[in-house]
Amino acid sequence: MLNYIWFGLIFISVVVGTITGRIDLVTEAAISMSKTAVEIAIGLIGIMALWLGIMKIAEESGLIKIIAKIIKPITIRLFPDVPVNHPAMGSIVLNMAANMLGLGNAATPLGLKAMKELQELNEQKDTATDAMCTFLAINTSSVQIILPATVVGLMGASSSEIFITTIFATSMSTIAAIFSVKFLSKMDRFKIRQETK
């Protein structure tokens, strides 16, 4: 899936760029974006270290286990293949809480910690598990209940009007994410294959 989309994006870019005479810009974008990617990753180091450090304290003091236990009724349904008291559950919840409050900086490190813990349960290390796909889909659907600071900045006084509409739309997208991930995971073409090509 991602193979075709990735190739498709590049292929279409080169073809369209040639036709529109913007092939220079396409080349330039390829080079500058590869730089940007590294800059983003390097920029993450500090904030990652901060939250992973705090999370380690939360883990060793047993806080994560307590949180995991509290939200068991929800996670047991969303992530049936993860043991109920697994630390991944605690990280997942903290990631979602950070996302809801619009704390993107904290959400990413917490999410990556959750991914690391989910990976420990994974038998095929290069293939996403059902739980990972569910977690990712919920994340990409944006569970934010606070308007993004950038939007508030641009909208000014009108931002209060879009509070309700955003909650509605984001609830719809999250529900869609959960249903589609559950449905798709049962489709043949998305099943985990033991043999790799």
Nearest distance, CB of residue 10 and other proteins, angstroms: 5
Query: Binders of other proteins: how many residues, by CB under 8 A?
Result: 108
Binding status of residue 190 toward other proteins by CB under 8 A: yes
Question: Of residues 129-168, which lie at the interface with other proteins (CB under 8 A)?
Answer: 132-133, 135-137, 139-142, 144-148, 150-151, 154-166, 168
Question: Of residues 16-45, which lie at the interface with other proteins (CB under 8 A)?
Answer: 16-17, 20, 22-23, 25-26, 28-30, 32-34, 36-38, 40-42, 44-45
- Whichever of 69 and 116 has its CB closer to other proteins, that residue is 116
Nearest distance, CB of residue 81 and other proteins, angstroms: 14
- Whichever of 73 and 125 has its CB closer to other proteins, that residue is 125
- N-terminal to C-terminal alpha carbon distance within the chain: 14
Q: Which residues of 26-42 are buried (b: 16+ CB within 10 A; e: fewer)?
A: beeeeeeeeeeeeeeee
Nearest distance, CB of residue 76 and other proteins, angstroms: 20
Binding status of residue 2 toward other proteins by CB under 8 A: yes
Nearest distance, CB of residue 144 and other proteins, angstroms: 6
* DSSP secondary structure letters along 55-101: HHHHHHTTHHHHHHHHTHHHHHHH-TTS-TT-HHHHHHHHHHHHHHT
If one counts every other C-beta atom within 10 angstroms of the C-beta of residue 23, the result is: 15
Q: What is the DSSP letter of 147?
A: -
Question: Of residues 79-98, which lie at the interface with other proteins (CB under 8 A)?
Answer: none
Binding status of residue 70 toward other proteins by CB under 8 A: no
**13 phi and psi angles, rounded to 5 deg:** -60, -45
Any residues with CB less than 8 A from the CB of 163 and at least 6 apart, and which? 147
Contact between 22 and 28 under an 8 Å Cβ cutoff? The reply is no
Binding status of residue 78 toward other proteins by CB under 8 A: no
